[in-house]
Structure 1
C-alpha cells in the first residue's frame, strides 16, 4: 500500500485553512508543513510552520497547495514545479496573462508533474447534475446561458488584499466572477466576441465592484454575466436554456450559509396549455462536496499519472483571457484600469 502523499500548504489564510481541513480528511494525504507571513495561532498544530515557501518545498513534501494572494502565485508555483513537486494552486493563478503564460511554460518543462487550478464550482452537486443533463442531449443544444454571481461581505475592508491592484490584479470579476466564466466554458466551450460594461459603483477602492458582460461563440450562442460586489442579498444563479428545455442551478451551499441552499431545476418547453409555465422537476442540496472532490481528482492524477480534467492550466488561461477581454471591451474602464495597474 502506498504511503500517503505528503502535502505542504503555502499561505495559511482562509483558503489555506479550507485546503488543510480537506487534506486531513482524505485517507491518502497527510499534512507535513506550511508557511505564512502571519501564521495563525490556531488550526495548524499538526504541521511544521516554516519560514518561507522554499522551506516548505524542501521539507520532503510530494505536493504543495499554493493559497497566497494572486501576486505571489506564479513565483511559488514555478519554484515548486522546477523542484519536482506536484502543485495545486488557487485561482486566478496570477494577476495577468503573462503570469499564467510563465506558469504554463514551467509546466511544459516539467512533464510528469500534476498542476491543477482551483475551480471548485465545477464540483458543486448542482453543477455536476446540470452537466449530466446538458451532455445527455435530452433538451437539445444550448441556445443561451445567463449567470448572476454576487456578494457583499468584506467589501469595505481597507486592508483586504483582494481590494489591492498590486496584489489582486482585478476586482470582483477576477476574484469571484471568474468562477461563472469558467462554468460558461465548462458547459459551452470558448467564446470569441465580448461586449461589456464595468464600474466601481459603490465601494471606495480602485477596482471594479460590478461587471456586466455579453459573450458570443462562433456558433452564435450567447452567455450573459453579472458579477457584483454590491449584491446585498447574496446570489448564485446559472440558467442554461436549450432547444427543448432548460436547467437552472439556483443557490450555493457555501460555508457562510449566506447564499440560499442549492436547487437544481429542470423543465421541458411546452407549446400547449402550459406554454410559458411548464411543469418542473426540482432537486434540493444543502451540502458542498466540491473541496473533497477537487482533492480526489488531484490525488488520482498523481497516483495514476492521469491528466487533469477540471482546472487545467489551459482552463485558467482561457478563463483569464475572458476576464481581461471583458475589461478591454469597456473602453472607458480599460483606460482607467490600465492607469490603476500602472501605479500598482
Structure 2
C-alpha cells in the first residue's frame, strides 16, 4: 500500500481542519471524498481540496474505493458512523470522544473489538504536540520525579459563545466535561498511567446564563484523586476573555513543568532549582497545528504497517476518558464525590 485512500465525514470547524491537512499529506494519503450536509462547506472543500462531495455518508463509504475514513461529525453520530465504517472494512480515525455516554457506545465497542486487524484511532491530538511529548519524555525518564499533582486549563474564548449556543441548541455536545475537559482527562491518564479512584466536580454558568436553558454550563472544575494521594484538577470552560487558554502543569518531586500556548517544547515553563524558562504565547489557531498533522500522519502510517500508533489513543483510552467525564458530570449534578 503506497498511499492511503481516504475520505472525511464532517466539514464543520474541526472537520475542515482535518480535511485540509489530509489534502496536504500528499505523500501519505489520497483524499477522495468528503461528506457534509451544508452545500457551502461541500463547495469550499471541492474547490480547495479537490474532493468529491457527498451528502450521504453511507453512500460515500459504499461507493468510494476507500482504505480509511476520518470522522469529525457531532459526537452523537460517532458510534453509528464508526461501526458502519468498520463493518465496511475501513480503518477508522474518529474524533474524540467515543460518544455521548457509555451506553451509547456499546455497539461501537463491539465493532472495534470484532475487527482487530483494522486500525481504530481516537483524536486526542495533544498527545502529538511537541511540548506535551517532551513532558511525557521527562516523566518517563524520571526527570520530574514522582508525580504529586497535575493541573489543567482548557477554556475557549468567550467570543465563540454565540456560535456554541447555536450549535448546542441543535446538537448534544455532551457537556463541558465530555466536550472539553476530556482532552485533559486523557492527558492525565497518559502522563500518569493511572485511572482516578474518586471524582468531585462543580460547574457554573455565570458568564452566559443562556447555557442553562439548553442544558449546558460555562465552567466545569473536576478534581481527581488517585492511589497514593496523587491529585489532578481540570478546569474547562467557554468564557476566556483574552482568547483560547490552554495550559497544563505537572508538579513532581524533582521538578515542575508548565505547558502553555507554545508548541515548541523549549518554551514550556520549567521550574527547577536552577531557574525558570517562560513560554512565548501564540494564537490558538496555530497552537495545535503540528499536533493535528502529526496524529493524521501517525494514523496513515498505522494503516500502512498494520499496527496501531504507540502514541495515538485507542479504544481503552476512549472508554476510560469517557467514563471519567461521565462521572464528573454526575458528580457536578449531584454535588457529591463519586467513586469509580
Q: By the TM > 0.5 criterion, same fold?
A: yes
Q: Deviations along 1:176-221, whole A, 9 cap, x unmatched?
A: 2211111111111211111111222232022121111110112211
Where structure 1 has 5 or more consecutive residues not aligned to the other structure, the ranges are 254-260, 271-277, 335-344
What is residue 24 of structure 1 aligned with on the other side? 23
What is residue 205 of structure 2 aligned with on the other side? 200
SS in 1 for 2:217: coil
Counterpart Cα distance in 2 of 1:297 and 1:82 = 22
Counterpart Cα distance in 1 of 2:262 and 2:73 = 24
1:251 touches 1:262 (CA, 8 Å); kept in 2? Answer: no
Where structure 2 has 5 or more consecutive residues not aligned to the other structure, the ranges are none
What is residue 274 of structure 1 aligned with on the other side? none
1:320 equivalent in alignment to 2:322: yes
Q: Specify which of 276, 298, 301 is matched with residue 280 of structure 1.
A: 276
Q: Specify which of 152, 155, 161 is matched with residue 150 of structure 1.
A: 155
What is residue 34 of structure 1 aligned with on the other side? 34
Q: 1:86 to 1:143 in 2, by over 3 A?
A: same
What is residue 249 of structure 2 aligned with on the other side? 239
TM-superposed deviation, 1:159: 6.0
TM-superposed deviation, 1:3: 3.4
Give the structure with the larger helix fraction.
2
SS in 2 for 1:289: helix
Counterpart Cα distance in 2 of 1:78 and 1:9 = 15
Q: Specify which of 99, 108, 128 is matched with residue 103 of structure 1.
A: 108
What number of residue pairs does the alignment pair up? Answer: 317
Counterpart Cα distance in 2 of 1:61 and 1:37 = 20
Counterpart Cα distance in 1 of 2:276 and 2:16 = 39
1:1-344 to 2 correspondences below 5 Å:
2-26=1-25, 27-39=27-39, 40=41, 41-45=43-47, 46-58=50-62, 59-151=64-156, 152-157=158-163, 160-161=166-167, 163-164=168-169, 167-188=171-192, 189-203=194-208, 204-205=210-211, 206-233=215-242, 234-252=244-262, 263-268=267-272, 270=273, 279-282=275-278, 288-309=289-310, 310-332=312-334
1:172 touches 1:210 (CA, 8 Å); kept in 2? Answer: yes
Q: 1:155 to 1:300 in 2, by over 3 A?
A: same
Counterpart Cα distance in 1 of 2:245 and 2:162 = 19
Aligned Cα root-mean-square deviation (Å) = 2.3
State the TM-score, normalizing by the size of structure 1: 0.86
Counterpart Cα distance in 2 of 1:173 and 1:263 = 28
TM-superposed deviation, 1:21: 1.4
State the TM-score, normalizing by the size of structure 2: 0.86
2:69 touches 2:90 (CA, 8 Å); kept in 1? Answer: yes
Counterpart Cα distance in 2 of 1:5 and 1:296 = 11
TM-superposed deviation, 1:131: 1.0
SS in 1 for 2:326: helix
Deviates more, 1:306-315 or 1:71-80: 306-315
